[in-house]
């Protein structure tokens, strides 16, 4: 995968554009969901941050992998940067602010930004043939007219290596892999520059996952696509992404080039995630040491309401009073590598002492 621009030195912390190298510039992005409560103490609404003050860039023609466990806010980031849900902060696409944008300008930009979802069975209308599914965005955005529409449908199906014979079929008549190819073809129909791929392989068999990942990488090279590749599977993210952002409980806790994250990760959460990835070579596989996860860790930390300090404090074996009181900022650790951890220097030098068991 081409790695032309890399990160912009360090995680951006202000709202200033970092130049034209990045197609997407995300600053202080926050998403809050509010739900109604049926309570008799007068409080009828509860708000919760799903994403809080997230900052990253995606350079043109590159892939940023967004990893983190279920509920960490990955999909919310994807939806927010496409302006599909309400969000605060700033998202600049090709230099243009898109948060809050609507009407004709947003409609026009929609052709350049697409999303492919996890489960094609849910994202493809079962009552429509493949031909109708792929025609929809072409007609809605007036990309082609008359016989040009079906020519374009055939062209994008060809790009995802599907025979045009599938045009007359319904989604249930296709395999899982073919359905996901149709979903990718539909996204390609508007000739986008940028695609959010949200867990696009997780509903597929392992052998088919590899085919879809290879297809995506070929398409990226051929069409010059910029991708946000969301997955909880670090193994797949590594294959696809030049850059990786690790999310925990709505925050990006580590951001860097793929090799930096794999060879030199520094955040205890990233290290715990990496320990859980099975090695492709069983002979080299080591037993997870769980050195970066408290022995009593549960996922409970993800579900409670954040009340200050580091988001990883309940699961981190190195938590100190400072971690409980002050939230660490995402700060530069090396060129293009940023970490949000108070104890990053000790972790780098291997001198961080475990505080597990301390009160
Ligand atoms: N529509 C919604 N209304 C209320 N809360 C929501 C909504 N969508 C997501 N959430 C909550 O926001 C948080 C982040 O959810 P999100 O779906 O973005 O996480 P995710 O990392 O994509 O998880 P997964 O890996 O399971 O897809 C979770 O706590 C989730 O329960
Ligand atoms: Mg999700």
**pTM attached to this predicted model:** 0.89
Residues 6+ apart with CB under 8 A from 237: 65, 67, 229, 231, 244, 258
Distance in angstroms (rounded) separating the CA atoms of residues 249 and 148? 46
Quick one: three-class SS letters along 236-281?
HHHHHCCEEEEEECCEEEEEEEHHHHHHHCCCHHHHHHHHCCCCCC
Instruction: Pick the closest to residue 237 from 264, 262, 219 (CA basis).
Output: 262
For residue 118 and ligand 1, the question of a CB distance below 6 A is answered with: no
Maximum CA pair distance of the chain?
Answer: 71
HSE-up of 96 (CA within 13 Å, CB side)?
Answer: 14
The CA 287 to ligand 1 mean position distance, Å, reads 31
Distance in angstroms (rounded) separating the CA atoms of residues 305 and 308? 9
Instruction: Quote the pLDDT of residue 354.
Output: 87
Instruction: Quote the pLDDT of residue 279.
Output: 58
For residues 67 and 246, is the Cβ–Cβ distance under 8 A? yes
The CA 159 to ligand 1 mean position distance, Å, reads 32
Instruction: Pick the closest to residue 22 from 65, 55, 62 (CA basis).
Output: 62
Q: Could you give the 3-state DSSP secondary structure of residue 169?
A: coil
The H or E element containing residue 137 is helix 130-140
- Per the listing, tokens 């579900």 go with 303
The CA 263 to ligand 2 mean position distance, Å, reads 26
Distance in angstroms (rounded) separating the CA atoms of residues 49 and 55? 15
Instruction: Quote the pLDDT of residue 326.
Output: 97
Closest residue (by CA) to atom 26 of ligand 1?
Answer: 70
Q: Which of 29, 31, 32, 33 to mutate to test the pocket of ligand 1 (most atoms within 8 A of CB)?
A: 33
220: which 2 tokens? 């990226």
The answer for 103, left when phi > 0, alpha when psi is -120 to 50, beta otherwise, is left
For residue 52 and ligand 1, the question of a CB distance below 6 A is answered with: no
Q: Could you give the 3-state DSSP secondary structure of residue 346?
A: helix
The answer for 63, left when phi > 0, alpha when psi is -120 to 50, beta otherwise, is beta
∠ CA 212-183-195 to the nearest 5 degrees?
A: 80
The CA 118 to ligand 2 mean position distance, Å, reads 8
Q: Which of 30, 71, 80 to mutate to test the pocket of ligand 1 (most atoms within 8 A of CB)?
A: 71
Q: What is the mean pLDDT of each run of 10 residues along the chain (359 residues)?
A: 38 42 95 81 79 97 96 96 97 96 93 94 94 97 95 98 97 96 97 97 91 96 97 89 96 96 94 77 47 58 74 94 96 92 94 74
Instruction: Quote the pLDDT of residue 275.
Output: 84
For residue 74 and ligand 1, the question of a CB distance below 6 A is answered with: yes
Q: Could you give the 3-state DSSP secondary structure of residue 285?
A: coil
Atom index in ligand 1 nearest the CA of residue 118 equals 27
């Amino acid at each position: 995968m081409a790695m032309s621009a890399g990160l912009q030195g360090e995680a951006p912390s202000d709202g200033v554009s970092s130049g034209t190298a990045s197609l997407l510039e995300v600053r202080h992005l926050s998403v809050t969901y509010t739900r109604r409560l049926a309570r008799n103490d007068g409080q009828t609404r509860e708000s919760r941050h799903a994403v809080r003050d997230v900052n990253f860039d995606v350079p043109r023609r590159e892939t940023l992998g967004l990893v983190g466990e279920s509920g960490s806010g990955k999909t919310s980031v994807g939806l927010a940067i496409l302006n599909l849900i309400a969000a605060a902060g700033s998202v600049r696409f090709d230099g243009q602010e898109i948060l809050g944008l609507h009407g004709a300008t947003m409609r026009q930009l929609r052709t350049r930004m697409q999303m492919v979802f996890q489960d094609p069975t849910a994202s493809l209308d079962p009552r429509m043939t493949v031909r109708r599914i792929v025609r929809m965005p072409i007609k809605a955005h007036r990309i082609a007219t008359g016989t040009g529409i079906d020519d374009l449908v055939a062209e994008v199906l060809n790009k995802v290596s599907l025979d045009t014979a599938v045009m007359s079929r319904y989604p249930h008549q296709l395999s899982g892999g073919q359905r996901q190819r149709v979903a990718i073809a539909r996204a390609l129909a508007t000739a986008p520059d940028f695609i959010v791929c949200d867990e696009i392989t997780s509903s597929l068999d392992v052998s088919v996952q590899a085919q879809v990942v290879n297809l995506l990488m070929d398409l990226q090279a051929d069409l010059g696509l910029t991708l946000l590749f969301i997955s909880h599977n670090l193994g797949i993210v590594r294959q696809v992404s030049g850059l990786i952002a690790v999310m925990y409980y709505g925050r990006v806790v580590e951001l860097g080039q793929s090799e930096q994250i794999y060879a030199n990760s520094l955040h205890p959460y990233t290290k715990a995630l990496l320990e859980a990835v099975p090695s492709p070579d069983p002979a080299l596989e080591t037993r997870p040491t769980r050195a970066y996860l408290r022995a009593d860790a549960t996922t409970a930390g993800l579900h409670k309401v954040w009340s200050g300090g580091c988001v990883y404090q309940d699961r981190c074996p190195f938590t100190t009073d400072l971690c409980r009181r002050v939230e660490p900022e995402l700060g530069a650790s090396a060129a293009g590598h940023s970490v949000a951890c108070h104890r990053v220097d000790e972790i780098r030098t291997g001198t961080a002492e475990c505080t597990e068991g301390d009160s």
